[in-house]
Structure 1
Amino acid sequence: MPPRQSPAQKLAAKLLLGGEWAPVTNKIGFVKRPVDQAAVEWRKWVQRSNFQTRDGIGVTEHQGTLTELLSKLLPLGYGTRWLLLETANPEWTAVVENTTGDAHFQYVLRHHLSEVRKIPTIEVQDEPKNMKRLPDEMARGRWGGRNLTVYDEAGFRRSLSLYHSEPWKFHHGGEPYDFEDVEQYSAPRALDCFPHETLVHICRNLGLDPFEEDFYVPNGRAFIVELLHDGKRSGGKKYTLAEARAGHDDISVPAVDDPVIGNALYPSGSGNPNPDAIFPSTGFESYARPTPWDRAVKEFEECLKRYSSYPVRASFSDGLEDLGIIALPSLSSGGTGSTDISVMASATLLESPLAIREYTAAFMILQWRQADDSSAFRSFYPNRKQMAVIRRIYKEQGLYPFDAGSNEVYFNLAVDKMIRSVTELRLTKELVDWEASQPAPSTAEAAARANRSCAWDIRMHIQEREDEIWNPELDDRA
């Protein structure tokens, strides 16, 4: 009798190549252009992106089976290399990345290709949840998730997202297509709202079959677009597929933090050392349509720079309000190992008083570990004794149990404390009154985020009583 399969193994069997090329194939992008045109568009984006290398951008055409072409992405986790695959639908080109985790090409698809170039794009992600908690070491596996995001010539069109937030949650936005079963999205269990079969059904109606091997490279054609590095500047960690999967997609073996085989096999950091053509980097140029908030974005960016030890960039996003978010940061490392922080800002934030933008800027930046190794998590995340005091204060205010995840509550308080330790900023009544004056959430997703446990009023109350929490009797950190 064959061994019983876990839900993660059953799902993996339905994915592209049975999930054997995860994490590379966990997220696949699609560009509505034939492969030759898509390769040109992608190369032009890389030339003006914030991924910059002195050796330029290489473009190489390849022939082979899907598995052979995927191997051209090796090593994983070093620099940035994209594989553009011809598909059985000649209107669409598939894109995957040499990632060891989550691919980060959604910015290209959503903002550059869709918003600026008016090229329709689709993102498809399906990742099994196989997280395994272990008693004496870090947990292994991935949290899993399922997403579909569609942009057409007019911009954002449709999104469906199933994500693990202990428990699973489901969200969809945009206008449903006629072929969707919208009643399914009201199922009591989030997992039943957006199963794998529904993702397949929608994709097929859009002209895609992302999980079928024969949908790709019917003529064996593909392009690699990559950042070029000489051997002296290839200091990033380089993983084989097995090393990248270890402890994450393959939880039967420990995670590989310091790869050995990948580094040995790819000393120069590239499996494609002689590209067909080399194009120079042309300097970063933001791909964004003019908006009424462009000046406010620049002013907010100056606020961010005051608190960052890394290069920072601000941008406007008109979709954050629907999610109940006023700003969203991300940290990335480019092919040269450089680190930068990007922050998307909502119109609500950009139109807010200066004090709001200033405190938000500090919060967006100081939640990351800085170049001087300062870290809110390491310096101020509360221990168990401190957590008990925080819970007591929340109980006194009638706010316990938390209406948000406890980790989110404690982390927000740690960042607040970090801000007070390195700046002159404080949470004030002005900030609290502004937050209270905001209109009621307009979407279910925004309403779900509007919790009092992380609101500025309770955090200001914690600030006023911080000596009860961050003191030598409870915390022996230096």
Structure 2
Amino acid sequence: MKFFNEKYSPLTDSVYFLKARLGDIVAEFLQWQKPLEINENRELQKTELTGDLEANLLQLLPISVTEIRRFLFLKTTNGWTAMISNTILGTDGAAPSVVSERLRCELVRATIVPDATMFEYANPLATTADAKFRYVYAMKEGKWEFHQHGPPLDFEDLARYENERMIKNKLDASLLIKYLMNLGIDYNTKTYYQPDSNIKGILISKEGPMYSNDKALTLQAAQNYYNQQ
């Protein structure tokens, strides 16, 4: 599936997962966001979602060019909660990282796009600074490059990093999905985001004035945005 084969790109280019309950994550997020100066003239509106995965993803529209205006929190069938936001560049990591630190819960990033595959894992409760953060990237920035930082997790395919000659294949979508499964995240299955509960997710939206340089785009307009610049 890879999140519907880019059908909902850029929304689903990066998905973050926090190992905490949906309600706890949303409560902590709102406690952090409400006092911020950026939200002085905005109301943070909370909407409980009962639809399927695709219907809930569409609640992120319109897509913003500048400011993140919508945050989607998706319950799963186990202890992880997915987090996605609505900007043209895909989900920014700042908000998930802050919530992870505040709740002291594990955080995972999964990015799959044509020019990059990225895996990140953070554990604020790790006993050493080095063990708190691990990332592995294969990305194209002019040319393909491979980067890693932090102690490898025990399920990683280190031989592949060492022996695979094509840099983009040192970490590709299939390997990333295997890593996620090892952490209990069934990223590639729609029903994973359809828990047996009435509330499937929560949308937090900023209601109020937009910045003058921002734009609100349809999904199709966002997908063609950089081709028209």
Deviation at 1:238, TM superposition (A): 1.0
Distance in 2 (CA, whole Å) between partners of 1:49 and 1:202 is 35
Deviation at 1:234, TM superposition (A): 7.0
Cα 1:204/1:240, change in 2 over 3 Å: same
Q: Which amino acid aligns with 2:158?
A: V
Q: Which amino acid aligns with 1:245?
A: Q
Determine if contact 1:125/1:147 at 8 Å carries over to the other structure: yes
Q: Which amino acid aligns with 1:117?
A: L
Name 2:49's counterpart in structure 1.
62
Determine if contact 2:28/2:102 at 8 Å carries over to the other structure: no
- Structure 1: runs of 5 or more not aligned: 1-13, 129-143, 249-253, 258-478
Name 2:91's counterpart in structure 1.
103
Distance in 2 (CA, whole Å) between partners of 1:49 and 1:185 is 42
Distance in 2 (CA, whole Å) between partners of 1:238 and 1:109 is 23
Distance in 1 (CA, whole Å) between partners of 2:37 and 2:135 is 27
TM-score by length of 2: 0.86
- Out of 108, 114, 119, the position equivalent to 2:100 is 114
Deviation at 1:240, TM superposition (A): 0.7
Deviation at 1:49, TM superposition (A): 4.2
Q: Which amino acid aligns with 1:18?
A: N
Q: Which amino acid aligns with 1:61?
A: E
Distance in 2 (CA, whole Å) between partners of 1:67 and 1:192 is 29
Question: In the alignment, does 2:82 pair up with 1:94?
Answer: yes
Cα displacement string for residues 86-109 of structure 1 (whole angstroms, at most 9, x for unaligned residues): 1122x11101111122322x1223
Name 1:208's counterpart in structure 2.
185
- Out of 228, 231, 244, the position equivalent to 2:207 is 228
Distance in 1 (CA, whole Å) between partners of 2:103 and 2:225 is 39
Determine if contact 2:104/2:124 at 8 Å carries over to the other structure: yes
Distance in 1 (CA, whole Å) between partners of 2:139 and 2:37 is 29
Cα 1:153/1:101, change in 2 over 3 Å: closer
Q: Which amino acid aligns with 2:88?
A: T
Name 1:183's counterpart in structure 2.
159
Deviation at 1:57, TM superposition (A): 1.5
Determine if contact 1:84/1:222 at 8 Å carries over to the other structure: yes
Cα displacement string for residues 47-87 of structure 1 (whole angstroms, at most 9, x for unaligned residues): 24463241331111121011111111111116421010111
Name the SS of the counterpart of 1:200 in structure 2.
helix
Deviation at 1:191, TM superposition (A): 1.3
Name 2:116's counterpart in structure 1.
145
**Relative to structure 2, which stretch is displaced further, 114-123 or 159-168?**
114-123
Name 1:193's counterpart in structure 2.
170
Name the SS of the counterpart of 2:201 in structure 1.
strand
Determine if contact 2:25/2:99 at 8 Å carries over to the other structure: no
- Structure 2: runs of 5 or more not aligned: 127-131
Name 1:240's counterpart in structure 2.
218
Distance in 2 (CA, whole Å) between partners of 1:117 and 1:247 is 36
Larger gyration radius, structure 1 or structure 2: 1
Cα 1:205/1:169, change in 2 over 3 Å: same
Question: In the alignment, does 2:33 pair up with 1:46?
Answer: yes
Distance in 2 (CA, whole Å) between partners of 1:61 and 1:246 is 30
Name 1:368's counterpart in structure 2.
none
- Out of 98, 111, 129, the position equivalent to 1:125 is 111
User: Stretches of 4+ moved more than 4 A in 1?
Assistant: none
More strand by share: 2
Deviation at 1:166, TM superposition (A): 2.2
Distance in 2 (CA, whole Å) between partners of 1:153 and 1:234 is 34
Distance in 2 (CA, whole Å) between partners of 1:99 and 1:240 is 11
Determine if contact 2:106/2:122 at 8 Å carries over to the other structure: yes
Q: Which amino acid aligns with 1:115?
A: E
Name 1:423's counterpart in structure 2.
none
**Relative to structure 2, which stretch is displaced further, 201-210 or 219-228?**
219-228
Distance in 1 (CA, whole Å) between partners of 2:38 and 2:138 is 30
Q: Which amino acid aligns with 1:171?
A: H
Q: Percent identity?
A: 22
Matched positions, count: 218
Deviation at 1:126, TM superposition (A): 0.7
Determine if contact 1:75/1:240 at 8 Å carries over to the other structure: yes
Determine if contact 2:43/2:207 at 8 Å carries over to the other structure: yes
Name 1:382's counterpart in structure 2.
none
Determine if contact 2:100/2:106 at 8 Å carries over to the other structure: yes
Determine if contact 1:34/1:93 at 8 Å carries over to the other structure: yes
